[in-house]
């Protein structure tokens, strides 16, 4: 009787797996098996804190929210920053020169079904003031959130015409 119960338990468990495979959608050219599913709002919360720290010019908070090996790929081909020290130096200069302020107007967390990498894609309205002239740009940012820290992000930029309505 014990053997019958054991066999029944094994068959029942095998027919009813507790782990659900995530199917996902999309692709990544570096790993064609990679697909993406909706991620966690925890990643969005990290990004929002990161942007708030930028708007508050709180360098200490910014540094606490990013990995030591942070990589920032800016909108221009030669606009790559690697490491916290380089990022801190860049921000200290940029905050004085342009006084940027971000407003996040949407974000979507996503994660890889194969790699498990967590990302967000977010849209930002950015106002800057350089030499007394105020400009507005739209930044689309893909940011990898790893172990609760901003690990890498890509900035895509579009200029907003001066006569565009707010």
CATH number of the structural domain spanning residue 118: 3.10.450.50
Cα 134 from chain centre: 27
Residue 103 inside a domain? The answer is: yes
pLDDT digits (tens, 9 = 90+) for 51-80: 999 999 999 999 999 999 999 999 988 899
Encode burial over 26-55: b for 16+ CB neighbours within 10 A, e otherwise: eeeeeeeebbbeebeeebbebbeebbebbe
Residue at 41 is within a domain: yes
The 10s digit of each residue's pLDDT in 75-110 is 988 899 999 999 999 999 999 999 999 999 999 999
| Count of domains for the chain | 1
- Residue 10 inside a domain? The answer is no
The CA-atom distances, in angstroms, between 16 and each of 9, 10, 145 are 11, 10, 33
Show the domain range for 39.
Answer: 31-159
First to last CA, the chain: 76
Q: Which residue has the higher pLDDT, 4 or 93?
A: 93
Q: What pTM value is reported for the model?
A: 0.83
- Tell me the pLDDT of the chain averaged across its residues: 88
Confidence of residue 19 (pLDDT cuts 50, 70, 90): low
């Amino acid at each position: 009787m014990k053997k019958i119960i054991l066999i029944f338990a094994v068959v029942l468990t095998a027919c009813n797996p507790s782990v659900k495979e995530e199917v996902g959608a999309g692709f990544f050219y570096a790993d064609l098996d990679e697909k993406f599913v909706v991620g966690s709002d925890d990643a969005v919360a990290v990004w929002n804190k990161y942007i708030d720290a930028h708007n508050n010019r709180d360098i200490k908070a910014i540094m606490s929210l990013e990995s030591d090996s942070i990589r920032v790929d800016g909108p221009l081909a030669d606009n790559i920053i690697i490491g916290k020290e380089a990022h801190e130096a860049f921000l200290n200069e940029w905050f004085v020169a342009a006084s940027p302020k971000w407003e996040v107007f949407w974000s979507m967390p996503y994660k890889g079904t194969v790699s498990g990498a967590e990302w967000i894609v977010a849209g930002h309205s950015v106002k800057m003031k350089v030499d007394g002239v105020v400009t507005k740009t739209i930044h689309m940012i893909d940011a990898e959130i790893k172990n609760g820290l901003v690990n890498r992000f890509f900035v895509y930029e579009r200029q907003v015409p001066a006569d565009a309505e707010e």
